[in-house]
Every structure is written in structure tokens, then in C-alpha cells.
Structure 1
């Protein structure tokens, strides 16, 4: 079982308490939003060496390691994939900064969501936009490859405020167009629910299996996950049959006043499901 959870599920100052819960349920992976992991640093994407050492030591105390990064453009202004030249450059340089951080912290996977940074303007032809995006991500893939990390493209349903790569199928097809070993797919279960693709999860996973580097156990609007334990169990069983070797990561927003209670419940549910699959 390779179970992880994202640190967006609890307040930044509750990390050690969350790690203790993770240890109890055998969750050995942590997905980080840099703004929460290094919130004491002036720029969380460029923390000082001491911050990284302290962070790594705390995780190792609980047998946990960082396995993925999200919120790659959080707090960055004017970084737009389909913007003006300076906005596109900021998009690229900001993602390069995230890749640099991942290399320093030894994180192998970056989840590329950031829906509002990837809106295709109405004046821009969609085919032209996609062709330009392919070039951008191929270049970022080259940079990521040198750093030893992968950029996992995430479908963001239109409800999240974008019109680019809304569905899993669109995301898979785009990754195939980029065709770079360091540009992969994040298989997001919450997105599958929102786009009506959940019943096709097995087929979609099979189509993209070689390109999938990460899985989000999530629910619509990042509510506590899994949305439906029985349904997640079925999806996970189909994935296990295809010999998926990477991480299942719980992604959910913090529930005010019940953050660690919900973290414990989600970890318990997911751990039981994945452990049962390991035994079959």
C-alpha cells in the first residue's frame, strides 16, 4: 500500500499531529502545498536550507517522506499559460521554481492544477492554444527531466474556473500530444465524479496507465474523501489489477474545527480499502 495525504487537509501548524495520525494508519507519503509546508519562509518556493532540514527530519521521525507537490502557482501573480508574453514567461519561470524546490526536497511528482492560470481567452483559437501549450509543457518536461521529477497534468472541471483540460479524457489526450516522459497524468477521482466519467474510470486508467504517475483520492469540491468508500474500493481494485506502482494520495480541504478528525477518518477508510486489496 502506498498511501499519502496532502497537507491542505489541516492547518500548517498541525503538521506533527497529522503525521502521528498518518503513522498509525500506515500512510508513508506526504503531498505538500509549499505555502503550508514552508509557511514561515518569506518565499515558500525558496525556503532556506535549515527549513528543509527541519522539515525532512520531522517527516522522517514518523516514517513519512514527501512524494508529491501541488498548489504550484499559489501566491504567484500574473502567471498565465495563455496570457501575454510576460505572463506566459512568468507561468514558465514559476513552474521552474516549483521544479527546483521539488529537486531540493527530493519530491518526484508535481501535480499541475492551477485552474485559473490556464484559461483559454475567448479571442484565442482553441487549436492554436493547445499547440502553444504543447510547446510550453514539452519545454517544462525537459527542465523537469533534468531535475528528476515529473509534471502530472490534472483535469480541472469547469466548476473550478477553467476551460482547459476539464476532463480526464482531454488531459490524457493532451499528455499524449506533449509526448514527454516527464509530463504525465494525475488521475483525479474527484474530477471523474464531477465530469461524469467515474463509470469509465477503469477504461480511462487503462488508456493512460503508462502515463499516470499519481492518483488523487478526492471528492467534488475537495470535500472529505473518499466520496463513496464502496465506489472508491471498486475503482482502486481495477487500478490494482493494472499493477499501478505509484502513490494514492488523499486530497481534501481542511474541515474547519474538525480538521484532524476528518484526516483520521479518511486515512482509516482508505487504508482499510488499500490494505484489503494488497491481500487479494
Structure 2
């Protein structure tokens, strides 16, 4: 049986507290929340252990858990994984994010943050992978020590030109060589870049290189808000034995954030029942 976790930024954007977000997620059947760190404060990578414990307790009191973090650098101006001027700052933040995720009880960090990973001019693919591998090596080592998985997220070419395909993500995974560093499949981005996504899942999930799945439509809505073939996509996840929480990550709402989340999980569960 598939588990689904809810990315929290739309609920947070409506002013709902973490407890309210967790309550809504639980009522809808999600196993947890995947947190945008920016919803926790201005410098979430530097939160105290006491504050982290309070956040975790507030969410777990509603019967769900923190499953992980995403949008790791999006709120940090001047940080960059590709620009040498911003790399030291970015590395310090991301090491803090690894500790934050582990402290909250999460197991996965998703690295998208397109504005903080712009591809330098004149850098070919091999040089880019080498450049990123050197940057991420200490972060992967920290993730391994803390028992979490750090995932580089392939994004659509409309968002960035750094890592756009799962194959490119796998190249980076291989260059780093850590069991705690993986790539992932964002269904919206993959649907724009290398559809059909069901075939992508069947090819890559058995390889062990995929650390996370984000479920969203190529129109940026939740599953069920567009035309993506989620029956086939979910069937592929079932067939390949996917056994980790799937993050429902819409970027726009249908009526409001709660209805959007309900639409997403209802669609995915209906597809799972059909695939059984």
C-alpha cells in the first residue's frame, strides 16, 4: 500500500499553523508533512534543538510525522551551489538542513531550488558533474552520518539548465558514490522533459538510484487537476514495489489548499485501487 505525504507550503501560505497543517493532512489520509523550511522561520537551518523538538512534537501530536524537507535554498539570497561566491554559504546552510531534517524525524531532503543552481556559462556536462560532486561530497557524508537521504531533483528546462533528467541525476549520484545521495522523480518536471513518466519509473526505480517521488501534474496542480496519466504512473509505482512516502506537491490551488490536497490524495488512491 502506497503512503502519501503532503508538501506544506500552500497550507502555510494560507496562514495555517503547523498543528493545523498536520491535522488537515491526517484527516485527509496523508502519513505526514514534507516541509518547506522557509515556513519554519527566516533561518531554519540554524534552529535550536529545543525549537526543532517543539516543531516535531506539534506535528506528531496530530498523528502524522515529518517525512522530509524540500525547497532547501529557495529563501536564501546569495546562496548558490554553482557560483563560487555563494558556495560556502550554501554548503553551511545545507549541512544545517541535514541536521534539521534528522532532528525533525525526516528521512529525505529534496534539492530543487532552481535560482540557487544556475549553470555557469561555458561549463560542459562532464565539468558540471565534477563541480557539483565536489560541492555535495561533504553534504552526502553528513547525510550518511545522520541516517537521511539527500536527493538532487531534476527540474524542467524552463526552471534551470543544471540537472534536467534522471540520467543526469544518476551521473551525479555515481560521481559522489554515497549511499545517502540519490536522485528523484518529480512527475511534473519529468512529464515536461522525458515523458512517459511511467516508463521512467519502471526503468529507474529498480536501479536503486531513486530516493524520492513527487506527485504533481505538468500543469503544476495536484494529481487530478490536469491531464497527466496518473493511472499508468501509479501502476508503475505499484509494479516496481515503491515503498517510501510519495510527496504530493502542487504549486497552485483548486478552491483552496485543503481541497487541492484532498483532490491529490483521492486521485492517487483511486489509481492505486485500480492498479491492485
For the aligned pair, the TM-score class normalised by the smaller chain equals 0.7 to 0.9
- Encode CA deviations 1:216-248: one digit per residue, 9 max, x unaligned: 001236323345577112111112111111111
What displacement does 1:67 show? Answer: 0.7
Q: How well do the aligned residues superpose, as a CA RMSD in angstroms? A: 2.3
2:199: which partner in 1?
202
- Taking the aligned partners of 2:129 and 2:23, their CA distance within structure 1 comes to 44
What TM-score, normalized to structure 2? 0.88
Which residue does 2:79 correspond to in 1?
79
The answer as to whether partners of 1:11 and 1:254 remain within 8 angstroms in 2 is no
- The residue aligned with 1:170 is 168
Partner of 1:88: 87
Task: Determine the C-alpha separation between the residues in 1 that align with 2:257 and 2:200.
Answer: 34
Report 1 or 2 for greater relative contact order, CA contacts < 8 Å, sequence distance ≥ 6. Answer: 1
In structure 1, C-alpha distance between the alignment counterparts of 2:94 and 2:202, rounded to whole Å: 26
Deviations 1:123-180 (A, max 9, x none): 33442222121222233211210111111111111211x2111122322333233332
Q: 1: CA distance between counterparts of 2:150 and 2:47? A: 21
CA distance in 1, matches of 2:210, 2:168: 14
- CA deviations on 1:190-238 (whole Å, 9 max, x unpaired) are 011111x221532454335312121100123632334557711211111
TM-score by length of 1: 0.87
Structure 1 range deviating more: 74-83 or 250-259: 250-259
d(CA) in 1 for partners of 2:123, 2:171: 20
Whether 1:213 and 2:211 are equivalent positions in the alignment is yes
Q: 2:219 and 2:116 mapped to 1: Cα distance?
A: 18
Taking the TM superposition and a 5 Å limit, the aligned residue runs for 1:66-145 are 66-84=66-84, 86-145=85-144
Say whether 1:20 aligns with 2:17: no
Residues paired across the two proteins, number: 272
Asked whether the 8 Å contact 2:234–2:268 carries over to 1, the reply is no
Which ranges of structure 1 fall in alignment gaps of 5 or more residues?
A: none
SS in 2 for 1:45: helix
